[in-house]
Structure 1
Amino acid sequence: MNDHDETDSTGMTDEEKRRDQLTSAPNAVESDADPRIDVTHRDGVTRIDIRDDADVRPGNPTKDPGE
């Protein structure tokens, strides 16, 4: 079990609280809580990558990422 699987005084895990927050807005849908990043840990280095399948991505949507 890692820190993200533990519940707090609300009885919810961090992931459950995230999903609850992202789906509680008016007109929210379940896919609003889909993962947007992948976090990997290797040799003491943490890497955060924006998922290719994320509906919401940072950056200028009109600019080609290869430019």
Structure 2
Amino acid sequence: MSEATPDPMTDDDKRRDQLLRAAESTEADAAPRIVTSREDDVTRIDIADSAAVRPGPGPGAEGEADPS
């Protein structure tokens, strides 16, 4: 049997590497889009201020859609 060698890449490195493998990808594609924080065993996930794409209506959207 052979010993497993530790992977020198961090999770962030692996994410960046995978996102940059696509054809015509740029550094902006690999930019972090979320920020996590942990306090008292509770993990909070927020959209990063620098995220190019955010959830919800885009700029110039007119209010909420009428659900009826």
Query: Same fold per TM (> 0.5)?
Result: yes
Give distance in 2, aligned partners of 1:50 and 1:63. Answer: 20
Describe how 1:1-67 pairs up with structure 2 within 5 A: 10-61=7-58
> Identity percentage over the alignment?
53
Give distance in 1, aligned partners of 2:6 and 2:53. Answer: 31
Gaps of 5+ in 1: 1-7
Gaps of 5+ in 2: none
Consecutive aligned runs of 4 or more in structure 1 exceeding 3 Å deviation: 8-11
Q: Under a length normalisation based on structure 1, what TM-score does the superposition of the two structures give?
A: 0.69
Higher helix share: 1
Give the root-mean-square deviation of aligned CA atoms: 2.4
Give distance in 1, aligned partners of 2:53 and 2:59. Answer: 14
Whose Rg is larger? 2
Offset of residue 59 of structure 1? 2.2
